[in-house]
Structure 1
Amino acid sequence: MRVARFYAPGDLRLEEAQEPNPGPEEVKIRVRQCSTCGTDVKIFNHGHHHLVPPRVIGHEIAGEVVEVGAEVTGWSPGDRVQVIAAVPCGQCYECTHGHMTVCPNQTSVGYHYDGGFAEFLVVPKAVLAVDGLNRIPDGVGFAEASVAEPLACVLNGQELAGVGEGDDVVVVGAGPIGCLHVRLARARGARRVFLVELNRARLDMSAAVVSPDAAICGSEVDAVDEVRKLTDGRGADVVITAAASGAAQEDALQMAARGGRISLFGGLPKDKPTITLDSNLVHYRELTVVGANGSSPQHNKQALELIATGQVPVSDLITHRLQLAELHDAIKLVSSGQAIKVTIAP
C-alpha cells in the first residue's frame, strides 16, 4: 500500500509499505479521506516531540471498516467511520472526572500510532477503549467527516469559553479553524461574529465563504479599535484567538467587554510561549481567560452530528481535494494560506 512516512524535518516520503493486520482488539479501515492541517505543516518543517520517526502521519481521518479483530464487537466490514486523533487513557483522574482533553497519558493517532496518510490504517485498541471510532451519519461524505476532528476541537474551545445566545464574538485568524469557529458560533446562537486576519487575501477568501458580520484586516486598520467601534465601545463578549500569535492574545484582552471571555485557542511557538498580560484588565473588568486543548471522543461524535444536521456546514470549506501523491503540494497550499481546507484521498 502507499503511505506518507515522516523521517525528519523536510523529509516526508511517499513510499510502499506492507498492509497492516489488526490484532484481536483492533479494527482495520480503508482510509477514504484524511484532511491536512497546520499541525501537519509544523511536523513537516520541525517534527514533533511526541513523534518518533519513521511514522505515517495524518490525523483527520475517515474511512470504512475492512477487517475486525476477533475480540471486537459492534463493527462490521463496510461500516463508515471517523477516527479520533487525541486518545485519552480513560482511566486517570482527569478522564474519570470529565476532563479527557487534558489527560496526562494522552496518545495521538499520527504521532504515537501510524496515521491516515495511507491506504489502510489499523485503529489501535486504545481508540476503541474510549469509544473513539465513530459512525459517519448517513448523508455525510468521507471528506466532510474528516473535518469532524478539527470541528471537535473548536467545539471544545467554544464550550470552555461559553459561547452562546446573543454573544458578540470575535474570531482572530481566518484559517480553517477560524472559519469553523465562525460557523459554530452562529450555530450556538451568537448575535454577531467578527473575523480578524492580518493577511488581506486570506481574509477575503475565508470571509467570502463564512460571511462574518464584519471582516477586519489587522494589517490595514487597528483591529482593537474596529471591534470597539462595532460594539459601540463595549467590546466583544467572547474573543477567540485562532492563530499562533502572542500579539493576537494580547489584543484579545483589549477587545473583550466587561465580563468577557477570552479563548487562547491557538498555541504559541515553543521558543516564544509567553505574552504580556495586563492583569488589572482581567481583575477590574472581570474577564475570564481559558485555554483549549484538542477534543474528547464525545466532542467528535457531536461534531459529526453538527455536520450531518447542517448546523455547521463544512463541504464549502474544502477548497482543494487532492490525492496522496499530491501531499507535498497540499502541505505547500496549507502553509501558504491559499487554501481553507485540503483533503487527501489515499
Structure 2
Amino acid sequence: MVDTMRAQRFYADSKTIAVEDVPIPELHPGEVLVKIAFCGICHSDLSLINGTFPAMRPVVTQGHEASGTIAKLGPDVTGWKEGDRVVVAAGRPCMACANCRRGDMSNCLAIQLMAFAYDGGWAEYTVAQAFGLTRVPDNVPLEQAAILADAVSTPFGAVVRTGKVGIGESVGVWGVGGVGTHIVQLARLVGAVPVIAVDVKPAVLERAVELGADHAFDARDERLSEKIAELTGGRKLDVAFDAVGLKSTFEQALDNVTVGGRLVAVGMSDESPTVGPTSMFGLTQKQVLGHLGYQNVDISTLATLVSTGRLDISRSISEIVSLEGVSSGIEKLERQDSNPIRILVQP
C-alpha cells in the first residue's frame, strides 16, 4: 500500500475545499482502515462550508455517510477481516464523559461527529472504530449502504425512537428531500396512515406519492390546514416532522399537530421559530422534540430491511461524482438541481 491518499479537504479560514494528497492515517488499537467505496454529500456538509455550523478544526476531510471495504486491521481488532463490506458510523463516543465512563456510549455527552471533529469519507481511505462498523449484506449495493449512515438512519431514529410513530397514527412530513423522503417511506413502513407530504415543488410532491405518501400538498396552499383536517377526521396530525428546519416549516408543522401530538424537528438552520403563546402551548399539550442522528444498531436494522426487500432506497441515489466533482455536487445540492435525494462521492 502506498503512503498517501487523495482527499477533499475543507479549510475553515477561507471556507474553501481542495483535493490533496495526504498521508494515510496510522491505526490505533481498536481501529480499522476502510477503503471508501461511496460517501454522501449532506446538507450539514454545506452548513460547515457556508459557516452555518462552526468549524471544529482548521482543516478537515468532510463526508460522513460512508461505505467501503476493510483494508487493514489495527491492533486488538477481532471479528473483522480485510475485505469485509461495511458502513462506517458517522460519529464516535468521547470515552471520557460521565455516560461513557459508565458504559453508556450511545448517550455520550460529547459525541464526536465524523467530518467535523475528525476526518471523514471524502477520501480514498478513512479510519473507523471497529465497534462502530456495520456489516453490509452481499445483496445490498455499497452505494445504497453508504446513505444508511445518516440519510436513512437519522429518519429511522426520528420516526421510531423520537417520534415513536404508532400503527394507524397520522403523519405529516414538511420537506421531502434527502431526509424527508426517507421519513415518508419509514412512516409508511411502520404503519402510519395517512402519510402526508408537504413541500413547495410539484416534482418533489409527485415523487413523494410514488415513494409512499398517501397525499402531497403545497406548503403555500391557503387550504393546507383544512385539507389535513379533512383527511384526519378533524383531528389534525398525531406526528409532524420538520425535515427543513426553517421558521416557516417548523411553525406550520406545529400548527397542524393535534392536541397532545408531537412535532419532531429534524432539519436544521440558523432560524429561530416560536411555539406561540405559552398559554395555548400548555393547553394543547403539544410536544416539540429535537432529533439528531441514530444508534448504530439502526444501520444494521435498515441494512436488513433493504436486503430483504422491505425498504427500497434504489431511487435515493441521484448522482455519483468524483472527488474532483465534489464542488459540482455541492452546488447541485444547494440549488436543488433536479431535486436530488442524495448525491454520492466515489473516490
Structure-1-length-normalised TM-score: 0.90
Change in 2 beyond 3 A, CA 1:281/1:161: farther
User: How does 1:268-307 map onto structure 2 within 5 Å?
Assistant: 268-269=269-270, 272-307=271-306
In the alignment, what sits opposite 1:117? 122
In the alignment, what sits opposite 1:18? 23
Q: How far has the Cα of 1:223 moved from its partner?
A: 2.9
Q: How far has the Cα of 1:15 moved from its partner?
A: 1.9
User: How does 1:1-346 map onto structure 2 within 5 Å?
Assistant: 1-8=5-12, 10-46=15-51, 48-89=53-94, 92-94=97-99, 103-123=108-128, 127-128=129-130, 131-150=131-150, 151-158=152-159, 159-204=161-206, 206-207=207-208, 209-269=210-270, 272-337=271-336, 338-346=339-347
Q: Distance in 1 between matches of 2:308 and 2:62?
A: 30
Contact preservation (8 Å) 1:161, 1:261: yes
Contact preservation (8 Å) 1:209, 1:317: no
Q: Distance in 2 between matches of 1:253 and 1:46?
A: 28
Contact preservation (8 Å) 1:86, 1:295: no
Change in 2 beyond 3 A, CA 1:279/1:308: farther
Q: Which deviates more, 238-247 or 251-260?
A: 251-260
Give structure 2 stretches of 5+ with no counterpart.
none
For residues 170-210 of structure 1, the C-alpha deviation after alignment (integer angstroms, 9 at most, x for no partner) is: 00011110000000101111122100012334434x32641
Q: Distance in 2 between matches of 1:329 and 1:242?
A: 24
Read off the aligned partner of 2:196 and give its amino acid letter: F
Q: Which deviates more, 162-171 or 38-47?
A: 38-47
For residues 14-66 of structure 1, the C-alpha deviation after alignment (integer angstroms, 9 at most, x for no partner) is: 12223233234321110001011111111222274353121111000100001
Q: Distance in 2 between matches of 1:149 and 1:101?
A: 15
Read off the aligned partner of 1:243 and give its amino acid letter: V
Q: How far has the Cα of 1:331 moved from its partner?
A: 0.6
Q: Distance in 1 between matches of 2:266 and 2:223?
A: 21
Read off the aligned partner of 1:111 and give its amino acid letter: F
SS at match of 1:74: coil
Read off the aligned partner of 1:216 and give its amino acid letter: F
SS at match of 1:30: strand
Change in 2 beyond 3 A, CA 1:80/1:294: same
Q: How far has the Cα of 1:80 moved from its partner?
A: 0.5
Read off the aligned partner of 1:2 and give its amino acid letter: R
Change in 2 beyond 3 A, CA 1:198/1:93: farther
SS at match of 1:143: helix
SS at match of 1:321: strand
Q: Distance in 1 between matches of 2:311 and 2:280?
A: 34
SS at match of 2:23: coil
Q: Which deviates more, 167-176 or 303-312?
A: 303-312
SS at match of 1:17: strand
SS at match of 1:115: coil
Q: How far has the Cα of 1:211 moved from its partner?
A: 3.8
Q: Which deviates more, 92-101 or 332-341?
A: 92-101
Q: Distance in 1 between matches of 2:291 and 2:104?
A: 11
SS at match of 1:147: helix
* RMSD of aligned alpha carbons: 2.3
Change in 2 beyond 3 A, CA 1:239/1:47: closer
Give structure 1 stretches of 5+ with no counterpart.
none
For residues 99-130 of structure 1, the C-alpha deviation after alignment (integer angstroms, 9 at most, x for no partner) is: 7665322101111211100011122xxx33xx
Q: Distance in 1 between matches of 2:104 and 2:320?
A: 34
Change in 2 beyond 3 A, CA 1:21/1:94: closer
SS at match of 1:212: coil
Change in 2 beyond 3 A, CA 1:20/1:72: same
